[in-house]
Chains A and B, each alone.
Chain A
Amino acid sequence: MAAADGGAVSGLAARHWPAAGPSRVPNWVYTDPDIFAREQERIFEGPSWLYVCLDAEIPNPGDFTRSRLGRREVVAVRGNDGAVRVLLNSCAHRSMQVCGANRGTAKEFICPYHQWTYDLEGKLLGVPFRRGFRGQGGMPEDFRPDEHGLQQLAVASRHGVVFASFNQPNETLEDYLGPTMLGWFDRVFSGRPLKVLGYQRQRLPSNWKLMFENIKDPYHASLLHVFLVTFGLFRLDQQSAIEMDDTGRHCAMISRRGAQETNEATAQMSAFRQDLRLADPRLLEPVREFPGDATVAMQTIWPNLIVQQQSNGLAMRQIVPLDAGNFDLVWTHFGYADDPPEMTERRLRQSNLFGPGGLVSVDDGEAMMLSQVGIAGNEGGECLVEMGGREVANVPHMVTETAIRGFYQHYRAVMGL
Chain B
Amino acid sequence: MIAAASGLDAPLELRARLADLYAAYDDALGEGDYERWPEFFTEACVYKIISRENYDAGLPLAMLQAESRGMLTDRVAALRKTTLYAPRFVRRLVGSIVLRAIEADSMRLSSSFALFQTMLNEPSEVFLCGRLYDRVADDAGTLRFAERICVTDATLVPTSLIFPI
Contact = CB atoms under 8 A, between A and B. Distances in A.
A273 B66 CA distance: 22
B74 interface: yes
B104 interface: no
A350 to B, nearest CB: 10
Contacts of B67: 280, 282, 349
A369 B84 CA distance: 12
A359 interface: yes
B159 A204 contact: yes
Contacts of A196: 59
B64 interface: yes
A230 to B, nearest CB: 7
Contact of A198 (B60, B70, B71): B60
A180 interface: no
A197 B77 contact: no
A106 to B, nearest CB: 16
Q: Which of A271, A276, A280 has the most CB of B within 10 A?
A: A280
Given A279-B70, A283-B74, A348-B61, A205 B51 contact: no
Nearest to B163: A357
Contacts of B74: 278-280, 283
B157 A198 contact: no
A58 interface: no
Contacts of A172: none
A351 B61 contact: yes
B114 interface: no
Interface string B68-87: 11110111011001111110
B118 interface: no
A369 B159 contact: yes
A379 interface: no
Interface stretch (A86-94, A360-368, A404-412): A360-368
Interface string A75-115: 00000000000000000000000000010000000000000
The size class of the interface chain A forms with chain B is 35 or more
B51 A200 contact: yes
A220 B38 CA distance: 31
Interface residue SS majority, chain B: mixed
Contacts of A362: 83-85, 160-162
A282 B68 CA distance: 10
A59 B111 CA distance: 36
B44 to A, nearest CB: 11
Interface in B40-99: 49-51, 53-54, 57, 59-71, 73-75, 77-78, 81-86
B86 A357 contact: no
A2 to B, nearest CB: 30
B156 A203 contact: yes
Contacts of B162: 357, 362
B61 A279 contact: no
26 contacts: A102-B155, A196-B59, A197-B59, A199-B53, A199-B54, A201-B51, A204-B159, A227-B83, A230-B82, A276-B82, A280-B68, A282-B68, A282-B71, A283-B74, A344-B60, A349-B67, A351-B61, A351-B62, A352-B64, A356-B157, A357-B64, A362-B83, A363-B83, A365-B160, A366-B85, A369-B159
Interface of A: 102, 196-205, 224-227, 230, 271, 273, 276, 278-280, 282-283, 328, 333, 344, 348-349, 351-352, 355-357, 359, 362-363, 365-367, 369-370
Given A225-B82, A356-B161, A362-B85, 15 more contacts: A202-B156, A203-B157, A205-B159, A279-B71, A280-B67, A280-B74, A282-B67, A351-B62, A351-B65, A352-B64, A356-B157, A357-B160, A359-B82, A359-B83, A369-B86
State the 7 A-B residue pairs at the shortest beta-carbon distance, nearest first.
A198-B61, A280-B70, A357-B161, A279-B70, A198-B59, A226-B82, A356-B157
